[in-house]
Amino acid sequence: MTSQLSTKRAWWRWRPDQQWEGYLFILPSFIGFFVFVILAVIFSLGISFSDWGLTGFKAWAGVENYQALFRDPVFWRALHNTGFYLITIVPSQLVLGLAMALALNQSLRGVGFYRLIYFMPVVTTIVAGAIVFRLLFSTHGPVNGLIEGVAGMFGASVQMPNWLGSTRHSKWAVVFLTLWKNTGFTMVIYLAALQGVAPELYDAAHTDGANAWQRFRHVTLPMVSPTTFFLFIFQAIGAFQLFTEPFVMTQGGPANSSLSVVQYIYLAAFRDIRMDKAAAMAWFLFLFIFIFTLIQNRMQRHWVYYETSD
């Protein structure tokens, strides 16, 4: 226990026993991080509390930029859209990713090939993907053709959705693009987690007479729950920060129906030259994500199972 006492010392205290030269090695990277990230972040906080134009500081503005945000209907629309992306994209990605991982965790012939195929969108350029998706989801495109065909088989005629041109469907087009792009990543992480589950646990469950569903529900799910937690947080942050997908696929339209918050930040900064408003939105989004993640972190003890924790 005496050794533990020494580690109680504040982290910044000089410790002669420590190989302080180590700090020298991380210094080049730290300088870059400090100048281009930390400094810029602190700087943007200052901008958000001032009247800031193209050439710089004009006057202090207090919380005026933040108050103006809440009166801005377009900001609310963007927030609403981002919430929609969050509640559609995150759960579907987790479910789809786990399902794909379970399927590809079998010893099938050519399983490596399938894993490659499903992972391919993750490393594909999003712009190329978006162009293909624009064609797929165009009014007379293959997706509508498929819907028409299926509906025709049942003798029904349906109004073809105008995926990119109507305010009701544009968000879904963005959601599908994002799922296509990112689910492969979820699958790979789950695949690694599944392979880390000890086979003895399944054997024991099998001996106890558990059927396939029970083995999944009571062995697999709890054992991969730390991974689920990680992916949940990771993807929720990704959904909050969604930018490229709506930017290249719908440009936020029509009628701002697919505009995300980060896209609106970009527009405020570079279309409207309102750096102060953009900075205020960025900090608001940061606080939102921070609180969201904090809550999730607190909630995790109710459903995340760490094998080593007892």
Please state, in angstroms and rounded to a whole number, the distance separating the CA atoms of residues 164 and 170.
5
Which of 18/214 has CB closer to another protein? 18
CB of 273 to another protein, least distance (A): 6
Whichever of 139 and 297 has its CB closer to another protein, that residue is 139
Q: How far is the CB of 54 from another protein (least distance, A)?
A: 4
Nearer Cβ to another protein, position 167 or 211? Answer: 167
For the bound state, the minimum distance from the C-beta of residue 216 to another protein, rounded and expressed in Å, comes to: 43
Least distance from C-beta 150 to another protein, angstroms? Answer: 21
Nearer to another protein, 74 or 237 (CB): 74
Shortest Å distance, C-beta 3 to another protein: 26
Strands 50-52 and 57-60: antiparallel
Q: What minimum distance in Å lies between the beta carbon of 259 and another protein?
A: 8
Whichever of 117 and 146 has its CB closer to another protein, that residue is 146
Q: Minimum Å distance from CB 155 to another protein?
A: 22
Rounded least distance, CB 126 to another protein, Å: 15
**Closer Cβ to another protein, 64 or 292, answer by number:** 64
3-state secondary structure the chain: CHHHHHHCCCCCCCCCCCCCHHHHHHHHHHHHHHHHHHHHHHHHHHHHCEEECCCCEEEECCCHHHHHHHCCHHHHHHHHHHHHHHHHHHHHHHHHHHHHHHHCCCCCCCHHHHHHHHHHHHHCCHHHHHHHHHHHCCCCCHHHHHHHHHHHHCCCCCCCCCCCCCCCCHHHHHHHHHHHHHHHHHHHHHHHHHHCCCHHHHHHHHHCCCCHHHHHHHHHHHHHHHHHHHHHHHHHHHHHCCCHHHHHHCCCCCCCCCCCHHHHHHHHHHCCCCHHHHHHHHHHHHHHHHHHHHHHHHHHHHCCCCHHHC
Amino acid at 14: W
Q: List residues binding another protein (CB under 8 A).
A: 20, 24, 27, 31, 34-35, 39, 53-56, 68, 71, 73-74, 134, 138-139, 162, 164-168, 253-256, 264, 267-268, 270-275
Q: Residue 53 or residue 91: which is nearer to another protein going by CB? A: 53
- The set of residues, in sequence order, having a beta carbon less than 8 Å from that of 148 and lying 6+ positions away, is 158, 160
Q: Which is nearer to another protein, 134 or 206 (CB)?
A: 134
